[in-house]
Amino acid sequence: MSLDLQERQKTATIDTERLCLRPLRAEDAEAITGVLSDFSVTRMLSRPPYPFTLDDAEDWLEANADSSDRAWSFAITQPADRVLIGLVSIELRQGGYHLGYWLNRYYWGRGFMSEAASALVARFFAEKGAFTLNSGAMAENAASLKVQQRLGFQVTGLRDIYAASRGAMVQEVTTALTPDYFRPYHFG
């Protein structure tokens, strides 16, 4: 690996109090498959199919590697082993930037997602400036909505979306955040 590539990867990494957010790698496919094969995770996401396969993960990683917004997709890891336990990303879609995330259910309830999302949102606003960042969660996903609320996201509406994992329409609470309302999250 060239020194230039190592330096770019180092600066792309985001370290928090308990986590390391690092760029995605092809070898993350198995860990992604493991997490998204758990219906308790996938049922709260609109795009991944269920069951989720290794081919799905490899296809997604390949498409993500070709994306111009690749710099905004991070594996959520713990510093000791840097094994993927979740994902946090900001992507340009439907004319705006959108925050999305998921986490292995064995790590739920510990503030990891608030910490990871906060770190990525802070970097996004520092680099991009005064953009509006959109997000949302299924209406029944109180934990995800709490993450957004902690960071300062404001509810902007309610809409029906198709959830591929369920093969059905579900209600999504839409949210938005500007730098003026952003509240960084710190564990403890």
Mean predicted confidence (pLDDT) in 159-188: 97
Domain that holds residue 118: 3-181
Distance CA 96, CA 146 (A): 22
Residue 151, pLDDT above cutoff 80: yes
Residue 21, pLDDT above cutoff 70: yes
The verdict on residue 187 lying in a domain is no
Residues 6 or more apart in contact with residue 182 via CB below 8 angstroms: 121, 122, 125, 151, 152
Rounded to 5°, angle at Cα 151 from 11 and 111? 80
| pLDDT bracket for residue 5 (50, 70, 90) | very low
The verdict on residue 135 lying in a domain is yes
| pLDDT bracket for residue 19 (50, 70, 90) | very high
Helices (H), ranges, 27-160: 29-36, 39-42, 54-65, 112-128, 142-151
| pLDDT bracket for residue 188 (50, 70, 90) | confident
Mean predicted confidence (pLDDT) in 29-45: 98
Query: What CATH number should be reported for the domain holding residue 97?
Result: 3.40.630.30
Q: Tell me what percent of the residues of the chain surpass a pLDDT of 90.
A: 86
Let me know: does 100 contact 135? Beta carbons within 8 Å.
yes
Q: Is the pTM of this model over 0.85?
A: yes
Residues 6 or more apart in contact with residue 25 via CB below 8 angstroms: 75
Q: Who wins on pLDDT, 5 or 157?
A: 157
The verdict on residue 121 lying in a domain is yes
The verdict on residue 186 lying in a domain is no
The verdict on residue 86 lying in a domain is yes
Amino acid (one-letter) located at 176 = A
The verdict on residue 134 lying in a domain is yes
Rounded to 5°, angle at Cα 21 from 80 and 109? 80
Residue 27, pLDDT above cutoff 80: yes
